[in-house]
Structures are given as C-alpha cells and as structure tokens.
Amino acid sequence: MPRAVTGASYNNLGQLVNVCLSTAYAGKLPAIPNIAYEDKEHMSFLELLQKRKSCRSYCSDPVPREKIERCLEAARLAPSACNSQPWRFVVVESPQLKQEIADKAFGGVFAMNAFVRKAPVLIVVVRQRSRYAAMLGGALRGVQYSLIDVGIAGEHLALQAEEEGLGICWLGWFSERLLKKALGLGRQDKVDIVMSLGYADGQDSRLKTRKPPSEIWEFR
Ligand SMILES: Cc1cc2nc3c(=O)[nH]c(=O)nc-3n(C[C@H](O)[C@H](O)[C@H](O)COP(=O)(O)O)c2cc1C
C-alpha cells in the first residue's frame, strides 16, 4: 500500500478505496513533505497550496455562516470566459436534505463517497449556460468554457476554505440525476461537482504526491 495512504486512519472501506484510487500511483510519485503552519499570518500562498489536501473525514462542529460566505465570495470573484459567471452555488446545511442527498446521490455505486454523510455542509456547484459569445467562441474552438469557469470558481472556494481552517473535498462521483431531483433543479442546470465542507476530524498525515517538475514543465 502506498506510503501516502498508510499515514491516516479511515472510518470505512469506501473511504480507503477512495484514497487508494486517488493515490493509486503515489508510491512512484515524489511526496511533498507535511509542514505544520502554526503561524497562519506568515503562510505564503504557495504554502497554503501545499497545505490544502482533500478532506474526507469531518467532525460534527457546525461551520460558521460567515466562513461559508467568505468561501462563496472567493468563488464569486473568479474569472470566467466573457465574464459569463455560469455558476450558482447551492449550500446544503439542512441535515434532512443532506441525508437525502447522501442516501440517494451518493448511494449504490457512488458509495465510495459515503463520507459526505458526515460533512456538515455540501456545496453543490450548478453550472449554467455561458454568455452567447463564450458559447460561440467555445463551439468554434471545441472548448466548453463553462467547465473551465466552474473549475476555477470551485478552486477559489476550496482555497478560501483552507484559509478559513476548514477541510474541503471536490466530489465528481455521484448521481447527477438523483442530486438534481433532490434539489429540484431545472433541466438546463448541470451539476458536475459537489464539495463537502467542514472542520477536519483530526490531522491528516497523508503526504501530498505530485508528478515531478521535470515531467510537467518545459521552457522553450
Ligand atoms: C474534478 C475532481 C473530482 C474529484 N472527485 C472526487 C471524488 O468523487 N471523491 C473523492 O474522494 N475525491 C475526489 N477528488 C479529489 C481528488 O482525488 C484529489 O484532489 C487528488 O487525489 C489530489 O489529492 P489532494 O486534493 O489531497 O491534494 C476530485 C478532485 C477533482 C479536482
């Protein structure tokens, strides 16, 4: 089992499978050392990026509304093609609705993400249509800019969550149909990503693993 996986404790098999899948070749990748950043005031942006890791284990403490709002504000400030801002963020805090979503959209074959049940907050990223100029340009180029746009907004949100001392996880594996049904979303709306949010349940000692610069950088 990769070293990155053995460092943490996992509540259930799904969670373990999940981490194994996402770090499937961790053994072959350089690990980024864990550093404790006690003094947040001196944490650089790059250090914040190093520190952020997917959080798959949450404690039940509620997340203050103002922290959630700052995360949403970070997403709102994201750039987008033709400034389309093709997104809405549905924040699910209600325990009943969260339970329904966890049971339905994250049940069955999607149960590897069953840890969402324990997350105090789910943020559903709803992708909407871009402006016509962005759609036309995208069609000509064969690029769906709205996907890039929601990706940027989602990562803005995730990095602000890290800044707030919260744990967050991107979730792409769920039943979109059942999720949209539970939320009563329209046919035009697309949901590619859900994010689980909350205070992490303990320290995650897993090491972040990434391809080495020599594999992914080139200067010409
Ligand atoms: C688009 C996208 C979809 C993802 N879907 C899931 C998911 O369904 N379940 C999960 O546990 N992690 C998911 N992740 C998290 C990745 O597994 C994780 O970011 C990656 O393994 C790197 O680990 P790190 O975030 O801890 O640095 C997703 C990440 C992205 C960007």
11 vs 131, higher pLDDT:
131
**What is the domain partition of the chain in residue ranges?**
1-51, 65-198
Q: Would you state the pLDDT for residue 9?
A: 45
For residue 49, pLDDT beyond 80: yes
Ligand 1 center from residue 54 Cα (angstroms) = 6
User: To test ligand 1's pocket by mutation, which of 57, 149, 171 has the most ligand atoms within 8 angstroms of CB?
Assistant: 171
Q: Would you state the pLDDT for residue 2?
A: 35
H or E stretch at 22: helix 13-22
Average pLDDT score over residue span 38-65 = 90
Ligand 1 center from residue 94 Cα (angstroms) = 24
Ligand 1 center from residue 214 Cα (angstroms) = 23
Lookup result for tokens 């539970």: 182
Neighbours of 106 (CB within 10 A): 26
Ligand 1 center from residue 140 Cα (angstroms) = 30
Ligand 1 center from residue 170 Cα (angstroms) = 5
Q: Are 127 and 179 in contact (CB under 8 A)?
A: no
170 token code pair: 């991107």
For residue 48, pLDDT beyond 80: yes
Q: Are 125 and 85 in contact (CB under 8 A)?
A: no
Q: Are 220 and 18 in contact (CB under 8 A)?
A: no
Ligand 1 center from residue 171 Cα (angstroms) = 6
Is pTM beyond 0.95 here? no
The CATH class for the domain spanning 65-198 reads: alpha beta
Residue nearest to atom 31 of ligand 1 (CA): 170
Strands 190-198 and 87-92: unpaired
Rounded distance between C-alpha atoms, residue 159 and residue 161, angstroms: 5
Q: Would you state the pLDDT for residue 204?
A: 87
How far from the centroid of its chain's Cα atoms is residue 49's Cα? 14
Ligand 1 center from residue 210 Cα (angstroms) = 13
79: amino acid identity, one letter = P
Which atom of ligand 1 is nearest to 19's Cα? 11
188 token code pair: 């035009």
Computed from CA positions of residues 94, 96, 97, 98, in that sequence, does the dihedral angle turn out positive or negative? positive
Neighbours of 90 (CB within 10 A): 16
Lookup result for tokens 């499978």: 17
Rounded distance between C-alpha atoms, residue 49 and residue 162, angstroms: 9
Rounded distance between C-alpha atoms, residue 23 and residue 17, angstroms: 10
Residues 6+ apart with CB under 8 A from 218: none
User: To test ligand 1's pocket by mutation, which of 13, 22, 32 has the most ligand atoms within 8 angstroms of CB?
Assistant: 22
User: To test ligand 1's pocket by mutation, which of 16, 170, 176 has the most ligand atoms within 8 angstroms of CB?
Assistant: 170
For residue 5, pLDDT beyond 50: no
Ligand 1 binding residues, C-beta < 6 A: 18, 22, 53-54, 56, 113, 169-173, 208
Residue nearest to atom 6 of ligand 1 (CA): 171
Task: Find residue 92's DSSP bridge partners.
Answer: 122
